[in-house]
Amino acid sequence: MMLFLDEEQVRKHLRMADLIPAMEKALIDFSAGKVTQPVRQVIPVDPPGGFYGMMPALTPEGLGQKIVTFYPPNAKTNLPTHMATILLNDPQTGAPLAVMDGRLITEMRTAAVSAAATKLLAQPNAKILAILGSGVQARSHAEALRLVRQFEEIRVWSPNKSHAEQFAKEIGAKAMSAEAAVRDADVVVTATSSRMSILRGAWLRPGCHVNAVGACRPDWRELDDDAMRNVIFVDSREAALKESGDVILPGAKIYAELGEAFAGKINSRANEITIFKSLGMAVEDIAAALLVYQSAARK
C-alpha cells in the first residue's frame, strides 16, 4: 500500500544524525557514476517571480523524483519560499511506494550535506561559526553543524536586522554586521536570497570553510570574486556550471565534487580556505526520503 506522509509525519521519521552519513554516501555514489540523474529542469513562473523544478533520480537504493517550487516573493507572506513533494517508486517494478511532503526534507538534507562538508573540510578545532541569513536554512544549519563541530561562539547577520536579532536569540548567538561575523570565523554559512555578493573573500581567515547554499540561479550570487578564487567544491560539476552564478559569473575553477573528497579520491586541502557551493540534488532527496519511508514502513 502506498504511503502518504505530510510534513509532521516526515519530521517524526527523519533525524539529522542519520541524515548526515546518508548524504555522504549519496554524494559518493553520485560522483562514482552510480546514479542516473539529469540536471534539474526549471520553469520560470513570472509573474509572480517563482520557479518550478523537476528533479528525478535513480540511485543504487531508490527511484523517484522531487517536484519543488521556489517563490522568493513568499518571503513577504506566511508561506515558505520553498515547497516540495517527493514521489518514491520501487526500482524493481516501478510501483509507487510513497508520496511525501518534501519541504522539510529539502531543508534538512541541505544542512546535512553542509555538515558533512564541514566535518571533512573545517579545522578540527573550529570554534567560531558565522551564519549569514536568518531563514529556515540558517536554522537548519545551526542544528546540523553543531553535530560535527563544538562551536564556542555563533555569529549571525541578516539583511533584516530584527530577523537577525530574533534568530540570534533563538540559537544563543550574537547578531552583528556581515563583516564582523565573518572576520576570524572558522566556519561560515551563506543562506540568503541575495542576488548579489554579500560575502567578501578579504574577510575570510586562512583555513576557513564556507558553505554557500543560496544563489541557485545562473545570474545570482552570494560570494565575490575573491572568495571564489579559493578551493571550490561542488555537489555536481554539471549542475554548478549550469545553475550557479557564484561559479559562472567569475569563471571560478572547480577543484572537485564533494563526493570525490568523501571517497578519498582527492586531497581535501582542508588547511586552505575551502568553499562548498551547494545547489542540492535529487540523489540527496531520494536518500532522505528512503530514510523516512523505511522508518515509516516499520511502524
Gap between the Cα atoms of 217 and 42, Å rounded: 10
Average pLDDT over residues 133-156: 97
Question: 173 and 253 in one domain?
Answer: yes
pLDDT greater at residue 193 or residue 266:
266
Question: 193 and 132 in one domain?
Answer: yes
In the predicted model, is pLDDT for residue 76 greater than 90? no
pLDDT in the model for residue 234: 98
Q: Which DSSP symbol is given to 220?
A: -
In the predicted model, is pLDDT for residue 298 greater than 90? no
In the predicted model, is pLDDT for residue 299 greater than 90? no
Average pLDDT over residues 270-278: 96
Residue 90, domain extent? 3-105+283-298
Gap between the Cα atoms of 159 and 206, Å rounded: 26
Question: 212 and 84 in one domain?
Answer: no
Question: 207 and 185 in one domain?
Answer: yes
Could you report the per-residue pLDDT of 96-118, keeping only the tens digit for each? 999 999 999 999 999 999 999 99
Could you report the per-residue pLDDT of 282-294, keeping only the tens digit for each? 999 999 999 999 9
Closest CA to 72 of 102, 46, 54, 42: 46
Place 204 in a pLDDT band, splitting at 50, 70 and 90: very high
In the predicted model, is pLDDT for residue 249 greater than 90? yes
- The pLDDT mean for the chain works out to 96
Question: 182 and 54 in one domain?
Answer: no
Scanning the structure block, which residue is given the C-alpha cell 534568530? Answer: 167
pTM for the predicted model, two decimal places? 0.95
How many separate domains does the chain show?
2
Question: 169 and 214 in one domain?
Answer: yes
Average pLDDT over residues 8-24: 98
Is residue 233 within 8 Å of residue 258, measured between CB atoms? yes
Question: 290 and 265 in one domain?
Answer: no
pLDDT in the model for residue 75: 84
In the predicted model, is pLDDT for residue 1 greater than 90? no
What cell numbers appear for 96 in the block?
Answer: 509507487
Question: 130 and 245 in one domain?
Answer: yes
Question: 220 and 129 in one domain?
Answer: yes
What percent of the chain stands above pLDDT 90? 95
Could you report the per-residue pLDDT of 27-64, keeping only the tens digit for each? 999 999 999 999 999 999 999 999 999 999 999 999 99
Closest CA to 105 of 86, 122, 90: 86
pLDDT in the model for residue 79: 93
Question: 241 and 230 in one domain?
Answer: yes
Place 193 in a pLDDT band, splitting at 50, 70 and 90: confident
